Structure 1
Amino acid sequence: MLARIYQPAPSAMQSGRARRRRWVLEFAHTKTRTLDPLTGTYRSTDPGAQLDLGFDTLDEAVSYAKANGIAHRVEKPKTVKRISRSYAENFNYDRKVPWTH
């Protein structure tokens, strides 16, 4: 059973930085999901598909996977490059795109 260790991206509704350092160990789906014709929902007989384990650090997640004999791969988080600008830069005369209002 292959597992993936990653740091989840924040929701679009989150602007704070709390709980961003959390790492998740997620198991891969080993069985296919089937569509229930009565309710229209998906079902699976794979219990590992519903299991996600959270850890505070990457080292804790990797050591847990190694201690339990779980094959895993680590996905490093993508860094976001922030360009800090002031509000006054919206009204500069040397803008690439002119102010339209």
Structure 2
Amino acid sequence: MFARIYKPPKNAMQSGKANTARWVLEFEPDMARRVDPLMGWTSGDETTSGQVRMKFDSKDEAVAYAERHGLPFTLEAEHEAAPQPKAYSDNFSFKRRKPWTH
């Protein structure tokens, strides 16, 4: 089992940053999923690949857990979004790409 440790990015569908403060340890699948010939569903034999997701308060805790249990892991860098300054008056600017309409 190979583990991946990362900090999840902000959800693109929401403006808030919920569920982005904790570090996540997920397991990578050992083998590819296969299609069930009878039902046509995709399935796999291992439950750790898509169903086990552990959350930690810090990166060090996640790394310590993986090392304590002898799990090989990759550590992904933390993503930090650059804020884009915006002002209400930009909605009415002459440099706007599309004309403002109601």
TM-score, with length taken from structure 2: 0.81
Residue of structure 1 equivalent to 2:36: 36
2:24 and 2:55 in contact (8 A); partners too: yes
SS across alignment from 1:21: coil
In angstroms, what is the RMSD of aligned CA positions?
A: 2.0
Inter-partner Cα distance in structure 2 for 1:100 and 1:14? 24
Inter-partner Cα distance in structure 2 for 1:16 and 1:77? 17
Q: Which runs of 5+ in 1 are unaligned?
A: none
Residue of structure 2 equivalent to 1:83: 84
Inter-partner Cα distance in structure 1 for 2:99 and 2:47? 56
Single out whichever of 83-92 and 67-76 deviates more from structure 2: 83-92
Do residues 72 (structure 1) and 73 (structure 2) align? yes
Residue of structure 2 equivalent to 1:48: 48
Q: Deviation per CA, 1:36-66, whole angstroms, max 9, x where unpaired?
A: 1222211111232132111121111011001
Inter-partner Cα distance in structure 2 for 1:13 and 1:99? 25
TM-score, with length taken from structure 1: 0.82
Percent identity of paired positions between Structure 1 and Structure 2 = 37
SS across alignment from 2:91: helix
Q: Which runs of 5+ in 2 are unaligned?
A: none
